[in-house]
């Protein structure tokens, strides 16, 4: 059995937040964006990460890439602990871990042509590559992601949102990375374009033998592309299972609420289904609830939930859940 290409152990990310108008010597509050996340990603697999806004998904991605510092834990990429490295040391591994961002147009430099944008990482990491070879590789990759090579000298504002995201994908793949992290890459796109981009990512993952982390809100999209899915809430891991198990028989109340929000194509089944409804809003990460962070909105919460934080229980078949009162909910189908 092969070793994980990425192994995250007890990863935490906190930020210091100063109160407005506070004295300079007043200690800042701690914002717990990610708390004690652990998972393994095998070579060639896609890991989906879902959760509502504010659950820490993007912070987790940025900690792995290295754009935000981790506060604790390990990020082992091919045996090297990225969390313990400084900026210079991480440069060696930077070409192997690339990121695709949420807003396709904002992620591109408006002053650079498409060819320059895609070629920039290659020129940075391989400055001795002949210009003719750089241009040939850019044209080849543009065609592979569905862009006409004769558009190489145009600027980002001349493209649609879906085309800009294809440019971002080409830029991420120009160095032939081993791991690509997609931070909600289709949330800003039309539904029809979303399907095209997701199918493109699946094809590229197979052709380039990529390992991938795919972050999104839409569980139907995540189910389509992922081998395993992690559900996050307020920076913590609630449940992890393979895509089929988590979307058909979720155990955690939060996972069940997320899946119940996905519409079923059959109007009769959609009308008859049971929908767990969450009360209240996501608590502030500056003052998370004691014990289980989900207890303030959980329909199964009991007095004991305010005590110790629940640990991930292994239910077998790589299915883990952080709830002592878990029980499966049979889901009819999601798109």
Q: Which residues pair with 237 in a beta bridge?
A: 232
Asked if residue 235 has pLDDT above 80, the reply is yes
Nearest in space to 311 (alpha carbons), one of 292, 285, 290: 292
What is the mean predicted confidence (pLDDT) over 297-325? 91
**pLDDT bucket at 334, cuts 50 / 70 / 90:** low
Are 79 and 2 contacting, i.e. CB atoms less than 8 angstroms apart?
no
pLDDT at site 259: 86
Asked if residue 333 has pLDDT above 60, the reply is no
Q: Residue 181: CB partners within 8 Å, gap ≥ 6? A: 61, 64, 65, 97, 98, 99, 100, 212, 213, 215
Q: What is the pLDDT of residues 186-205, one digit of tens each?
A: 887 888 888 899 999 999 99
Nearest in space to 64 (alpha carbons), one of 47, 53, 51, 52: 47
Q: Mean pLDDT, the chain, as a whole number?
A: 90
More confident position, 276 or 143? 143
pLDDT at site 97: 94
**Interatomic CA distance for residues 105 and 162, integer angstroms:** 9
Six-digit token string for 110? 């408006």
Q: What is the pLDDT of residues 120-137, one digit of tens each?
A: 999 999 999 999 999 999
Ramachandran class of 76: left when φ > 0, alpha when ψ lies in -120 to 50, beta otherwise: beta
**Interatomic CA distance for residues 76 and 64, integer angstroms:** 9
pTM above 0.85, yes or no: yes
**pLDDT bucket at 1, cuts 50 / 70 / 90:** low
pLDDT more than 70, % of the chain: 95
pLDDT more than 90, % of the chain: 64
pLDDT at site 148: 95
- Is domain 6-16+29-248 annotated with CATH 3.40.50.300? yes
96, burial (CB in 10 Å: exposed 0-12, middle 13-18, buried 19+)? middle
**pLDDT bucket at 230, cuts 50 / 70 / 90:** very high
**pLDDT bucket at 162, cuts 50 / 70 / 90:** very high
pLDDT at site 330: 60
Q: Residue 292: CB partners within 8 Å, gap ≥ 6? A: 298, 301, 305, 306, 309, 310, 322, 323
User: Order of strands across the sheet with 313-314?
Assistant: 97-100, 179-183, 211-215, 46-50, 228-233, 236-242, 320-321, 313-314
Asked if residue 335 has pLDDT above 60, the reply is no
Nearest in space to 162 (alpha carbons), one of 140, 139, 192, 184: 192
User: Any idea where the domains of the chain sit in the sequence?
Assistant: 6-16+29-248
The helix/strand count (H/E) of the chain reads as 10, 12
**Interatomic CA distance for residues 166 and 141, integer angstroms:** 10
pLDDT at site 91: 84
**Interatomic CA distance for residues 252 and 153, integer angstroms:** 50
Per DSSP, the residues of 81-134 read EGGG--HHHHHHHHTTEEEE-S-TTTTS-TTS-HHHHHHHHHHHH-TTS-HHHH
Asked if residue 170 has pLDDT above 90, the reply is yes
**Interatomic CA distance for residues 233 and 254, integer angstroms:** 8
User: Order of strands across the sheet with 80-81?
Assistant: 29-41, 6-17, 72-77, 80-81
Strand blocks (E) in 201-306:
211-215, 228-233, 236-242
Angle at 137 between CA 131 and CA 142, to 5 degrees: 125
More confident position, 31 or 20? 31
More confident position, 269 or 15? 15
Residue 160 CA from chain centroid, whole number: 23
């Amino acid at each position: 059995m092969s070793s994980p290409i990425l192994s995250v152990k007890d990863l935490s990310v906190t930020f210091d937040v100063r109160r407005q108008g506070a004295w300079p010597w007043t200690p800042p509050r701690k914002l717990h964006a990610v708390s004690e996340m652990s998972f393994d990603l095998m070579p060639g697999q896609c890991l989906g990460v879902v959760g509502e806004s504010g659950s820490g998904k993007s912070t987790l991605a940025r900690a792995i890439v290295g754009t935000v510092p981790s506060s604790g834990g390990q990020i082992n990429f091919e045996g090297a602990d990225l969390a313990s490295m400084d900026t210079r040391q991480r440069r060696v591994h930077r070409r192997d871990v690339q990121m695709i961002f949420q807003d396709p147009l904002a992620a591109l430099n408006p002053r650079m042509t498409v060819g320059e944008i895609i070629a920039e990482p290659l020129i940075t990491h391989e400055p001795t590559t002949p210009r003719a070879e750089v241009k040939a590789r850019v044209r080849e990759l543009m065609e592979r992601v569905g862009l006409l090579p004769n558009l190489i000298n145009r600027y980002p504002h001349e493209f649609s949102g879906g085309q800009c995201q294809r440019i971002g994908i080409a830029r991420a793949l120009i160095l032939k990375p081993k791991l690509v992290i997609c931070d909600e890459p289709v949330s800003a796109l039309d539904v029809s374009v979303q399907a095209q981009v997701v199918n493109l990512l699946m094809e590229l993952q197979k052709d380039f033998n990529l390992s991938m982390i795919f972050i999104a809100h839409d569980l139907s999209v995540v189910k389509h592309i992922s081998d395993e899915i992690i559900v996050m809430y307020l920076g913590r891991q609630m449940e992890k299972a393979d895509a089929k198990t988590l979307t058909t028989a979720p155990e955690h109340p939060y996972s069940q609420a997320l899946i119940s929000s996905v519409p079923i194509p059959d109007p009769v089944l959609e009308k008859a289904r049971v929908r767990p409804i969450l009360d209240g809003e996501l608590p502030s990460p500056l003052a998370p609830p004691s014990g289980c962070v989900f207890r303030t909105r959980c329909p199964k919460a009991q007095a004991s939930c305010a005590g110790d934080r629940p640990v991930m229980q292994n239910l077998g078949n790589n299915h883990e859940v952080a709830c002592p009162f878990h029980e499966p909910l049979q889901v009819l189908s999601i798109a």
